[in-house]
Each structure stands twice: as structure tokens, then as C-alpha cells.
A and B are shown apart, each in its own frame.
Chain A
């Protein structure tokens, strides 16, 4: 009974916080719109709109009303899914973004896999042989990678691996003639649905470098967090008790230190899943991939302010929802994290 109460309390709190965050995000975006220099109606209508068109937009957006009314109607429009209209594509921003979201999610998914697949084993080995050659090299690598600008790393690797060595395609998401019918919008998935295996491997070939660049940035954080957590646990008292039982170093690490260190890593990777969507802005455009990052980049380049702010609202919302899902998954999947999250009221 108590557990049920604790669960619903946790879930309720988590949901409430997500709603609060979305409201905060909406308010920030509204503030951004108000910060824009110049006449909002003029901007929304586009540079070569006639006076009548501008007035029509002013009317539609209710820009003559007091700010508080404007704010409320802005929130109302958001609730109806209206993120504004791009002055370049003349399409609703939401419609534009929905088209490219799967491609970004695909990139983030692959990057997340790479991130965890590299960082977690590396963190474990580094902690297991603290101060050894592997530990030292991987720490130096982590420091270097963590300090490099992601977009620059993308440019350099693209040049070296794509142009000079030709190991991977320079850009795009699939080779010429490899297209599969668009179903989901994520190229790898579409290729699989079409049964186009050559196309599937081609899309993987295209995604590997962008995903690796995106992953590099985040893998350094996972590596450092896991390694520090493992070493911290290895220094704790109960590890001495396990030593006193005659356990080997390996047994201590796998059976005791690792389970006790995973919590911060899982929490971090949850946050990272969201942050990666934001960081796609830095990578997608370099590799000429479709996606919300590239969309946003182009919007900035074309001074399409409503598309930029619509994207901010959209990405922020996706990040919040991803964080919420990851938190709930953590709670459901691992009973240990459940215990830690809900607190232990034993005795």
C-alpha cells in the first residue's frame, strides 16, 4: 500500500514537473518573441507583405490586445499545435518539423547506442585497472574529445574520412538510387520496411560518422561519470567487507561496484538522450542530413525567426517528453533504482 502511494506520488510529481517545464518553456518562447526588434506583424507576414496583409496578420495574432491577452492566446495556439508559420516555406512550423523528426531520432538513437557501447565498457576497464595504460589513454582521450567543438570535429572527420580516405560517404543520408519509399521518415527504417537491404546498409554507412561525432561528445561524460562512480564505490566500506570474504577484484567490480554505480550513469544517459536532440543542430547541417537540427540551422541562416522559435519550442517539448519517458522507464526496469528513487523507508 505504501509502495503504491510512493509510486503515485513519484509519478504525479514527475508529470507535474514536466507540465511545469513545458509551461516555463512556452513562457520563455513568448518572451523571445517579444524581444524581437521591429514590428512583429511585419515580421510574421514576411518582408514583402502588403500593408493589408500585415494588418490581417496583426488581426489574426491579436497583436493589438494587451500583452497578457496575447500571452494567453499564444498559449492557446500552442495547445492547438500551432507553432507559428515559417516565412520561408510558408508552412506551419509543426508540419515542417514532423517531417524531419524521424530522421533526427534515428541519428540520436544510433548515437546513443554508440555512446553507451563505447563508454560503459571503457569506464569499467579504466576503473578496474586504475592508473594503468588503458586508464591513462582513455582519460586523455576523454579530455581531448570533451574539449573539442562537435561541429569542428565533424568538419575535420568529414574531410579526413570522407574526402581524403573515402572510408565513409561525405554527406547525405543515402546514396544515389538507394531511396526507399518514405513511410516513417527515418531512412534506415524505411529501407527495412521496403525490404531493401542494400539500401539499409547504405543508410547505416551514411549515419555512422555523424552518429559517432554526436556520440563522442556525450561518451566522454558517461565514461567520466561511470569511472568516478566505480572508483568511489570501490573505496567505500562495504567493498572492504567483500574483500574480507576473500572475493577477487573482478568479483567485487562486477557483483558489487557496478550495480552500485549504474544509477548516476542511467540518470545521465536519460538527460543526454534529450540533449542529443538539441546537439543535432551542430552535426546534421555539416553532413547535409535532414532533421530538426538542419531545419533550425537553415531557419537561422534565412532569418526565419518564427521557424527558429517554433523549433525551440518543439525541440524543448521533445526533450521534456523524452526525459519523462526515460525516468519512468528507469523506474519500471530496475528495482534497485526504484528503491533509490523512492527512498528506503525501512528500519
Chain B
């Protein structure tokens, strides 16, 4: 077990109103090299869990342990190692890259601050390698991200996260803002990288079809609680909880015959 999240809770201050509790006793584990999907609707707390896993916010209760590090209280060398080994990719390809840095500076920043490559030339070489690996042209290294498309930006974001060889990559809705025709490229890239680098991927999404495609293990969240978790086959083939069932039933299918049949069946069910 690489990371364990043990019954964490989190509330947000809404003064003068009473605080809003967004996570209730959430527990889940991540093994090395596995892809795990956190799915839920808006307000399910999935992004809050991702932020806790990245130590961007601290839960009030519970514990998060990564490879022997107490994440919530980590300091100094321990925190530095955690920051090197757990990385993330965000939803918004426009807001997630500093517009005042070149592609080289963006991707090379991790190498620089973790002192992984001593010289600028060596860093540059590593940046070129990783750009090539994620399907970017290394000649674009000196450009700013302004002129890149959403899909290319997500590749840059992935390269920036992966260049320091993390062991966990947390992806918060990484394809939700992309065009349909580009979405598949990024999903395939993530899948590819996971296999090549033996990376654990935590994939936060509202789109169950994408999660089904990418993740072996699924955690279904609803109103800050884990409703159901299990393997892909369990969740999609034989969901036990009514919430999971209703969620799956509502996903539209790009096939008129199957789609109409699914909707007709569902309406019949609700009518009864």
C-alpha cells in the first residue's frame, strides 16, 4: 500500500452560517501502479479528497499516510520527498500553467527545485526527452503557453508532473474541459504513462465512462461519503448500492438504439 487515507473529515467555514461539512470519514487506499477512479456528482467531495491527498488542505480528523510519511504533519525533508513523489494534473488547461513561464521553465521547474539535474544543459535535455515522450515537439520549448491548444497544454501539464518521476499522479478532471476529439488523446496518454512508468493514478471525474475506461478500481462518492468501492467489474457489472445504480443508469450512450432502450427502461422503472 503506497498511500492510505484513514477516515478523514473536512468542513469549510461559512461564517456567519454554520460550517459546511464536505467530507465524512472517508477511507481509501492506493497501491503502487494502480489506477483508481474517484467518481461523484458536484458536491460529492471528490476534489476535496484530491486536495487532501496532495497536502494542499488539511483534514480536521483522520490520517493520511504516504510510504511512511504522515502527510498532514510532514515537514522538512519528509515533505520534500512527498512533494517529489506525489504530483497532479488539473482540469483547467488554461489556468493550470503559469502564463509568464516558457514551456522549458514550466517543465524544468521540478528538476530545478528538487535539484535533480545540476546543470541547465542537463535540465534542458531532460525536458526535451519528456516532451518527446508525451507527444510534444521539443522545438517548442522556448515558447509561452499562450498559443498552445487545450490538449497540448494538458500534455505540458502532464510532462511537468512526470519529469520528476513521481509515484502517484492525482488527476482532477483532466479531460473535462477538452474537446471530445482531443479528450481521447489525453486519456490514452495517461494510460500509456501509467503502464510505462508504473505510476499510480488517482483519477477524479464526474464522467463514469472515462473512469471505466481508465481505472481498475472505482470509488463512488456522494455528499462527502464513500457510497461504494470495488473493482471495475464489480461497480459497472454489478453495482450494489441504489445510488451507484441510478448514477450508471443516467449516463447517456452514443448509440441511438441502446440509448433509447436504456432511457425507456429507466422511465418505466421510475413510473413504477
Which residues of A are at the interface with B, using a C-beta cutoff of 8 A? 2, 5-6, 9, 345
Contacts of B270 in A (CB 8 A): none
Top 7 nearest A-B pairs (CB, nearest first) are A9-B16, A345-B17, A6-B16, A5-B16, A2-B17, A345-B14, A9-B15
The count of chain B contact residues (Cβ–Cβ below 8 Å) is 4
Nearest-neighbour CB distance to chain B for A18, whole angstroms, equals 19
Which residues of B are at the interface with A, using a C-beta cutoff of 8 A? 14-17
Contacts of B17 in A (CB 8 A): 2, 6, 345
Which residue in chain A gives the minimum CB-CB distance to B18? A2
Contacts of A9 in B (CB 8 A): 15-16
Please, how many angstroms separate the alpha-carbon atoms of A6 and B14 in the complex? Answer: 11
Please, how many angstroms separate the alpha-carbon atoms of A2 and B15 in the complex? Answer: 11
Nearest-neighbour CB distance to chain A for B111, whole angstroms, equals 43
Contacts of A345 in B (CB 8 A): 14, 17
Contacts of A2 in B (CB 8 A): 16-17
Which residue in chain B gives the minimum CB-CB distance to A5? B16
Nearest-neighbour CB distance to chain A for B43, whole angstroms, equals 9
Please, how many angstroms separate the alpha-carbon atoms of A6 and B15 in the complex? Answer: 9
Which residue in chain A gives the minimum CB-CB distance to B17? A345
In the complex, 9 of the A-B residue pairs with CB atoms within 8 angstroms, ordered by the A residue number, are A2-B16, A2-B17, A5-B16, A6-B16, A6-B17, A9-B15, A9-B16, A345-B14, A345-B17
Nearest-neighbour CB distance to chain B for A203, whole angstroms, equals 48
Nearest-neighbour CB distance to chain A for B11, whole angstroms, equals 15
Contacts of A6 in B (CB 8 A): 16-17
Nearest-neighbour CB distance to chain A for B14, whole angstroms, equals 7
Contacts of A5 in B (CB 8 A): 16
Please, how many angstroms separate the alpha-carbon atoms of A5 and B17 in the complex? Answer: 8
Q: Give 7 new A-B contacts, CB below 8 A, not counting A6-B17, A9-B15.
A: A2-B16, A2-B17, A5-B16, A6-B16, A9-B16, A345-B14, A345-B17
Which residue in chain B gives the minimum CB-CB distance to A9? B16
Which residue in chain A gives the minimum CB-CB distance to B15? A9
